[in-house]
Amino acid sequence: MTDPATKRSLEFIATCDDPKKLRQIAANAGRQENAEVREAARRRLYSVLPSEAPGTLEYDVWQSIHALEDTLTDERGKTIRLARTRQKIGRDKEVRAVADLILKASASEGFHMLVERELPQLTFEAVALRHPDRFEANVLEAARLRLSKAGIAP
């Protein structure tokens, strides 16, 4: 059963669109060892950071990037940016960048990191499967296979 303070925090988080407040809530919850509030604030943060329209491939890609960067920044204690991924998107756009990573012989470090942190829905493989009309069949099959091998139902 959730205590009243946690319940209030979760209700606030659900409607908060301010990244600064969400980061502060996550930090405070971490210090208080309230994993439920911390994770809720972080997941909400990842959903408000992308500037693209929700429901689009571009939104999902940037949500994944923000989540991985934030997680790595938190774990390493310094700002981490996925510079090569950002550069690739700048050159080739989201669809090509996602497809190229999925078609690599082995899973990216980001894939493993997101799966280990219980965020498989944010992997580029899961993103591609949510937008099948934007990818070729071989990319979608590679995404399904990689997720299955990781023990994740595509």
b/e map 20-56, b = 16+ CB within 10 Å: eebeebbeebbeeebeebbbbbbbbbbeebbeeeeee
Categorize the per-residue pLDDT at 140 as very low, low, confident or very high, splitting at 50, 70 and 90: very high
Contact 12, 28 (CB under 8 A): no
Q: Percent of the chain scored above 90 by pLDDT? A: 90
Q: Kindly report the pTM of this predicted structure.
A: 0.90
Is the predicted pLDDT of residue 71 greater than 90, yes or no? no
Categorize the per-residue pLDDT at 1 as very low, low, confident or very high, splitting at 50, 70 and 90: low
Q: Residue 37 corresponds to which tokens in the numbers above?
A: 């509030």
Element (H, E) at 151: none
